[in-house]
Each structure stands twice: as structure tokens, then as C-alpha cells.
Structure 1
Amino acid sequence: MLLAMTGFIMIALLMFFLLRGKATPLALFVVLPILAALINGFSITEIAEYSAAGVSTTWSMAALFVFVVTYFGIMTDTGMFDKLVQSLINVANGKIVGIFLAIVLIGTIGHLDGNSPTTYLIAIPALMPLCKKLNIRMQAVMLMCCSVITVMNLVPWGGVLNRQSIVLDMDSSVLWQSYLPIQIFGWICCIGMAFILAKVETKNGAGVVTCLPEADDASTLSDKMSEVDSLKRPKLVWFNVALTIFVFVLLFKSPFANYIIFMIGDVIALAVNYPNVKDQEERLKAHAPKVISLVATVLAAGVMVGILNNTGMITAMAEFIINALPAALNSKLHIIFGVFGGFMGLAVAPDTLYYGILPVLIEVCGTYGIPAQSVAIAFGVGADSCFTLAPVISSTFLGLAVSGLSLKEHMRFSFFPLWILGLLMILFGCLTGIIMV
């Protein structure tokens, strides 16, 4: 009882402080779970072990951030995206909906491997300069990208179906056949969202290419533009494009870890574009501030994940909810957990969701004749809806790194649209009989 109540209070405090901007994620991810564990009687030794176990699951993503942020920073410095941006501006010709539809297409193709980091890396950096020129808010771009990731994450080799197929003891491709109509419906919803976001952004002033500042800032602007121009490497643009394509081919085809691939990319990019060692050091220093806070936050998130998982707090919270609900609602537990799965997905790591909570839910619903597969689909769609906002998932911070957004900005803009997308997909599943009501 105490374990569950402590968990609820901790998550409530986490969301309150994050959304109100009263504390940094770094501080919250360390202080709150340690306090929660101490309140429940866990020893300092146990807390240290749980924290270390959690950090061991996030360090590789932290390493990836170091080299990803640096790589795309260097490519921006060299002006690699300039011609692409100008071409897209000419093609779009002020049609903002075309940009959002392009994000849907790029995100769909980019997420065919079921890997969120790859999708962020393919979709965001290439489109961000264009969106800034057209005054499209990055919050809207991230929402569109995350919506597509949410839908495409339901492929047989994606995290949701892989984990659920293990729990259900069935082949993920067989499970996907039931998910597929819901996934197609979700993708159509993404197309609809593209048109809605285009209208919203147009009303917000998107579509007009950003003009240069007035003469008051002329000298400052001139100095800044001179500095930016000195970093550009127009004669090496095709080399940088080829290098970037090579890096992405390695991501899909090579046995190397992602951070090793981008490490190699950084070394080559610096050596060719800025052969002077002092220039290389300056480029690294220029991009270091973005890297430090992100890496620290991701490692701190590992502390929270480790303590939540190893103390049994999440399972205790799920069991508390199940026992607290009126008996009349027990046969609808899978729908209830699906509807509120978006909230759970914000604070609970995927392994705990599908290996800890789902089996308990399947067992309870089974006594009321609800098939395990129906329970899994309702819960999977709901929990998947907001996972791209989850501070306990490392890939969230990669999306924030490449988009330049804060977690607060991203959550405030995207939570309800993504949650509603999940609800619509659950409703479609119920109406078509895929999810038993």
C-alpha cells in the first residue's frame, strides 16, 4: 500500500514540477525516486544498486547524444542544409500542409525499422531549417513526427509487439495482423492531423519567409553573418551529403553501435571540413553546451527507471488501481487501462509496462472472459500513444536535442493531441471488434 501511494505521489510531483517549470528534469529524476525508495525502507546499498542498474540501460543513449548533436551541428555549420532548404521553400511555395505531409511520409519511411532515434534523426534535422524560415513552430513539427512514430511503432519488429508477443507466447507477425487495421486507421488520422496543424500554424503566422532584422541590429547582424559564413564549406557540400548518407547506411546495415557510427562521422566531418586543430576544438566547444545538459538528464533518468523497476513500485501501483476499482468495472479493465495508458506511458518504462503490468491485467481480465490478445491490444495502443513524451525513455531526449525544444514545451503542446490519437485508435478497435468491449 505504502509502495503504491509513494509511487503515485512521486509521479504527480514529477509532472507538476516539469510542467510548471519549477525544477529541472535532472534534479527531479534523482531526488524524487531516491526519496521514495527511502520512505519505503530500502537501504542506501539497495538504492545504489538499483540506480546503477538503471543508469546502465541509458548510458549508450547518452553517448549517442554526444556524437549526434555534434554531428548535425557540424553539418549545419558547413551549410549542408542550405540548398535543400531553399529547394523545399520553392517547392512548398508557402503551402504549409505540404511540409506536414512530407513529415508524415518521411516519418513513415524512417520508422520502418521500428527505431525512434533513427526517425528523429532522419525527419527533424533536414526539415528544421526550412520550418524556421517559414515560421513553423518546432512544437508542431515534433507533434507531427511523434504522431507518425506512435502509429508506426506498432510494426511486428517494434518494441510494443515484440514485448507483447513474448507475454502472449505468440509470433509478433501473427499479433500484428490484429493490430494492422488499427494501425492503418491511425496513419489516416496522422494525415488528418497534418491538415489541422497546417491550418493552426498558418493562423499563427507560418508561410512567410523570415525577413532580416531592421537596421538597428545591422552591425550585430553583419558580424554574426560573417561568422556564420566563415564556417560554411560550399565546395564540400556534396562530400558532406555523401558522408551523411554513408552514416545512415551504417545505421541500418552495420553491426556497430549507433554512437560508434556517429563518432566516426564526427571525426571525418571535422577532419575534412575543418582541418585546423584549433577550428576543430572551437566547433566542439560551440556544440558542447547542448550536449552536457542532455547527457546529464538522460543518465539521471536511468536512476529513476532503475528505482521504479527494482523496488516493484510500478507493479504495486497497477495492483492498487485494479483492487480499488468497483467490481462492476473489472470486466472493462483493459479499456480503462487503455484509455489512461497514455498517462502511464509517461512515467513507466516499456519493459515494466509490458512485462510487469500487462500480465497482471491479462490475468484479472481473463476471469471475466476477455481474451488476452484483446487486453494486450487495448493496453498497447493506449500506452504507446504518449511514449514519445516520456521522460523515462532516452529517445525522447534525442528528439528534444535535434529539435531544440524543452521537455516542458514538448509535453504542453503534444500530450493531448497524442493522447486523443490513441483514444481514437482504441475506439476504432472497439467498434470493429478487434478489442472486445
Structure 2
Amino acid sequence: MLLALTGFVMIGLLMYFLLKGKAIPVTLFVVLPIIGALINGFGIADITDYIKSGVSTTWGMAALFVFVITYFGIMTDVGMFDKLVKKLIKIANGRVLGILLVVVLVSILGHLDGNSPTTYLIVIPAMAPLCKKLNIRISTIMMVCTATITVMNLVPWGGVLNRQSITLAMDSNELWHMYLPLQICGLVCCVGLAVIMARVEVKRGAGKIDVAATQEEETEVVDEAAAKLLRPKLLWYNVLLTVVVFVLLFTTKLPNYFIFMLGCVFALVVNFPDPKEQEARLAAHAPKAISLVATVLAAGVMVGILNNTGMIVAMAEFIINILPAALAKHLHLVFAFLGGFIGLAVSPDPLYYGILPVLIEVCGNYGIPATSVAIAFGVGADSCFTMAPVIASTYLGLAVSGMSLKDVMKTNFLPHWIIGLIMIVFGCLIGTIVV
């Protein structure tokens, strides 16, 4: 009981302080779980082991952030995106809806590998400069992109189905065929979201831009320091290098952080042959990298303690035990409805290896098939994972968009949660989810 209550209080405090902006994530991720573990009688030696376990799952993403931020920072410095933005402005010509539909399409293609970081890296850096020129909020691009990511995350090789197939002892491809109608429904919802947000942005004045004037202004460089960094003669080298980086991401098993490490090296050496200039570029992009790396490593502390103390499973069992008997036979729908909230606080492993088996066992007593439980819970919990503070890839999205976790939660939670609920209702209507 104490373990569960501690978990609820801890998650509540985390969300309160984050959304109110009263503390930075690093502080909360380190202090709250350690206090929670101590209250429940865990010793320093145990807590230390839990922290090591948690951080070991996030250090790779932390390393990726260092080189991703540096790489795209260098590409921006040398002006690689300038030509792309000009071309896209010409094509867009103020058509906000067309841009948002492109975001949906590119997010679908980018997430075919089930890898959120890759999708963020493909979509956001390319679209952000264009949206700035056309007065489209980056929050809107992030909303549409992350909504599509959540739906595309339900592929056979994605994290959700991989873990669920292990819990259910069935082939992930077979499970995916059951998910597929709901996934199609979700993609339709993403297109609908793009249409709605395009109208919202147009009412704000987005897309109203004098293309010729903008291009004229861009020919004049006001900042002399920035002008010295431009490398127009190396444009095709930088474009080719970026293409090679993404080809390696898609076609090899090399660690993501190593690929961007190589990219940074070749970008620095060719664009800035002078070692002093290379040091200057690294120093210029270091502040943003340090902040995000610290946050991701600190998130590992929270993940390790939540997972290894059994706090997550205790919280799930507590909810199950206090539910009225009339709701017990619909427990999978209750957890599907709450999935958006649960997915914010719980990382994937305890979700599908800890909570899901408990739900399957309880619902099995009422004749609910295990696959129905898994699908309902999977869609619900997956709907908001792109803004979960306990998932490392969340911070990559923040890094490339320049948004804060608080702002992403405020703008994205409701539309993402609603899309998840629509998919669940659709699943109930077609019989994939047994009511």
C-alpha cells in the first residue's frame, strides 16, 4: 500500500512542478524517486544499484543528444538549410495545410523503422525554418508529427508490439494484423488533426508572407559573425554528408550516437579546417547539449527506481483493488481510458511486462481475451508516450524543436489522448476490442 501511495504522490508532484514551472526536470528526476525509495525502506546500496540500472538505459540517448545537437547546429551555421527553406517556401506559397500534410507523410515514412529519434531528426530540423518564415508555430508541427509517431509506433517491430508479443507469447506480426484497422483509423485522425490545425494557424495569420520580399531579405546578411560561418561552396558536400548520415541510420546497425559522432567529425574537419574554429563551434552548441544530457541521465535515475522497487506494479494493483466490482469486467477499458496518463509516468518495460500481465489475469476471469486487453491498453498507453518525461526520446524532440517539456504537454496531451480514445472506440465497434 505504502509503495503504491508513494508512487502516486511522486508522479503527482512531478507533473505539478513541471507544469507549473516551479522546478527543472533534473532536480525532480533525482530527488523525488530517491526520497520515495527511502520512505519505503530501501537502503542506499539498493538505490545505488537501481540508479545504475536506470542510467544504463539512457546513456546512449544522452550521447546521441551531444552529437545530434552539434551536427545540426553546424549545418545551420554553414547555411545548409537556407536553400531548402527557400525552395519549400516557393512550393508552399502560403499553403499551410499542404505543409502540415507533408509533416504527416514524412512522419509516416520516417517512422517506418519504429524509431522515434530518426523521425524527429528527419521532420523537425527541415520544417522548423520554413514554419518560422511562414509564421506557423513549431508547437503545431510538433503536435502533428508526434501524433503520427504514436500511431506509427504500432508496427510489428515497434516497441509496443515487440513487448506485448513477448507477454502474450505470440508473433508480433500476427498481433499487428489485429492492430492494423485501429492504426489506419489513427492515421486518418492525424490527417484530420492536420486539417484542423491548418485552419487554426491560418486564422492566426500563418501563410501570409511575401515570398519575393522574404527571399530578397535573405540575400542581405546583417550579422557579420554569422556570415563568416556560411559555406556556400560546400553546400553539396554538406547535403551529401547529411544524406549519408540518414542512410546509415536506416540501413545499418551502427549505434545512432556513433553515426552522428562521425557526421560531426566530417562536418567540422571539412567546413572548419582550423582546430580553433572547430573548438569554437563545439563551444557554441555545448550549453544546449549539456542541459538535455543532464535531463536524460537524471530521467534514468527515476526510471531505474520506479522499475526496480516494484512501485509501478504496486500502483496498478492498487487501482485494480479499489475499482467497483461493476467496473472489474471492463478493467481493460478503464486502463485504456487512463492509458494516456499512465503512459506519461511509466516507461515501456514496466507497462508491458509489469502492468499488462496483471490486467490480463484479472480480465481473463471475466472472459476478456488477452489480445483485447493488450490492444486496448497498448493504444491508450501509447497515445501520449512522445511527451513522457521518463522516455529519453522525448528530449530529442524537445532538443530539435526548441520547446520545453511543459509546453509540449500543454499543447499535445489533449489531441493525442483524444486520437487514442477514438482508436479504442473504433476497435470496440469493429470487435477487435471485446467490451
Q: TM-score range by the shorter chain?
A: over 0.9
Q: Report if the CA contact (8 A) 1:78-1:231 is conserved.
A: yes
1:55 maps to 2:43: no
> Which residue does the alignment assign to 1:14?
14
Unaligned 5+ segments in structure 2 are: 212-219
1:69 maps to 2:32: no
Q: Report if the CA contact (8 A) 2:114-2:158 is conserved.
A: yes
**Equivalent AA in structure 2 for residue 322 of structure 1:** I
> Which residue does the alignment assign to 2:266?
268
Q: Distance in 1 between matches of 2:56 and 2:154?
A: 26
Q: Distance in 1 between matches of 2:178 and 2:374?
A: 11
Q: Distance in 2 between matches of 1:401 and 1:333?
A: 37
Q: Distance in 1 between matches of 2:252 and 2:118?
A: 14
Question: CA offsets, 1:92-121, max 9 Å, x none?
Answer: 110100110000010000000000000001
Q: 1:232 is matched with which residue: 230, 233, 245?
A: 230
Cα drift, residue 204 of structure 1: 2.0
> Which residue does the alignment assign to 1:87?
87
Question: CA offsets, 1:193-212, max 9 Å, x none?
Answer: 1111111111222113499x
> Which residue does the alignment assign to 1:400?
398
Q: Distance in 1 between matches of 2:360 and 2:30?
A: 32
> Which residue does the alignment assign to 1:148?
148
> Which residue does the alignment assign to 2:136?
136
> Which residue does the alignment assign to 2:287?
289
1:349 maps to 2:318: no
What is the DSSP-based 3-state SS (H/G/I as helix, E as strand, rest coil) of the residue aligned with 1:156? coil
**Equivalent AA in structure 1 for residue 235 of structure 2:** V
What is the DSSP-based 3-state SS (H/G/I as helix, E as strand, rest coil) of the residue aligned with 1:112? coil
1:300 maps to 2:298: yes
**Equivalent AA in structure 1 for residue 428 of structure 2:** C
Q: Distance in 1 between matches of 2:337 and 2:324?
A: 17
> CA 1:224–1:54 in 2, change beyond 3 Å: closer, same or farther?
farther
Question: CA offsets, 1:167-199, max 9 Å, x none?
Answer: 111000000111000000100111111111111
Q: 2:364 is matched with which residue: 363, 366, 387?
A: 366
Cα drift, residue 224 of structure 1: 5.3
Question: CA offsets, 1:22-41, max 9 Å, x none?
Answer: 00000000000001001101
1:325 maps to 2:323: yes
Q: Distance in 1 between matches of 2:162 and 2:145?
A: 22
Calculate percent identity across the aligned residue pairs: 69
Q: Report if the CA contact (8 A) 2:360-2:373 is conserved.
A: yes
Q: Distance in 1 between matches of 2:209 and 2:383?
A: 33
Question: Number of aligned pairs?
Answer: 428
Question: CA offsets, 1:106-140, max 9 Å, x none?
Answer: 00000000000000011111111101111111111
> Which residue does the alignment assign to 2:214?
none
Q: Distance in 2 between matches of 1:286 and 1:224?
A: 19
Question: CA offsets, 1:65-89, max 9 Å, x none?
Answer: 0000000000011111111111111
Q: Report if the CA contact (8 A) 2:339-2:382 is conserved.
A: yes
Q: Distance in 2 between matches of 1:414 and 1:249?
A: 30
Cα drift, residue 413 of structure 1: 0.6
What is the DSSP-based 3-state SS (H/G/I as helix, E as strand, rest coil) of the residue aligned with 1:255? coil
> CA 1:41–1:98 in 2, change beyond 3 Å: closer, same or farther?
same
Q: Report if the CA contact (8 A) 1:133-1:210 is conserved.
A: no
Q: 1:252 is matched with which residue: 230, 245, 250?
A: 250
Q: Distance in 1 between matches of 2:205 and 2:41?
A: 54
1:160 maps to 2:149: no
> Which residue does the alignment assign to 2:112?
112
Question: CA offsets, 1:237-256, max 9 Å, x none?
Answer: 11101000101111122232
Unaligned 5+ segments in structure 1 are: 212-221
Q: Distance in 2 between matches of 1:420 and 1:351?
A: 24
> CA 1:224–1:284 in 2, change beyond 3 Å: closer, same or farther?
farther
Question: CA offsets, 1:395-429, max 9 Å, x none?
Answer: 00000001111101111110111011101110110
> Which residue does the alignment assign to 1:241?
239
Q: Distance in 1 between matches of 2:209 and 2:237?
A: 28
Q: Report if the CA contact (8 A) 2:221-2:227 is conserved.
A: no
What is the DSSP-based 3-state SS (H/G/I as helix, E as strand, rest coil) of the residue aligned with 1:362? helix
**Equivalent AA in structure 2 for residue 332 of structure 1:** H
Q: Distance in 2 between matches of 1:21 and 1:105?
A: 34
Q: Distance in 2 between matches of 1:318 and 1:262?
A: 39
Q: Report if the CA contact (8 A) 1:134-1:210 is conserved.
A: no
Q: Distance in 2 between matches of 1:195 and 1:29?
A: 37
Q: Distance in 2 between matches of 1:369 and 1:209?
A: 59
What is the DSSP-based 3-state SS (H/G/I as helix, E as strand, rest coil) of the residue aligned with 2:223? helix
> CA 1:243–1:141 in 2, change beyond 3 Å: closer, same or farther?
same
**Equivalent AA in structure 2 for residue 31 of structure 1:** V
TM-score by length of 2: 0.97
Residues 43-52 or 308-317, more deviating: 43-52
Q: Distance in 2 between matches of 1:205 and 1:408?
A: 25
Cα drift, residue 225 of structure 1: 2.2
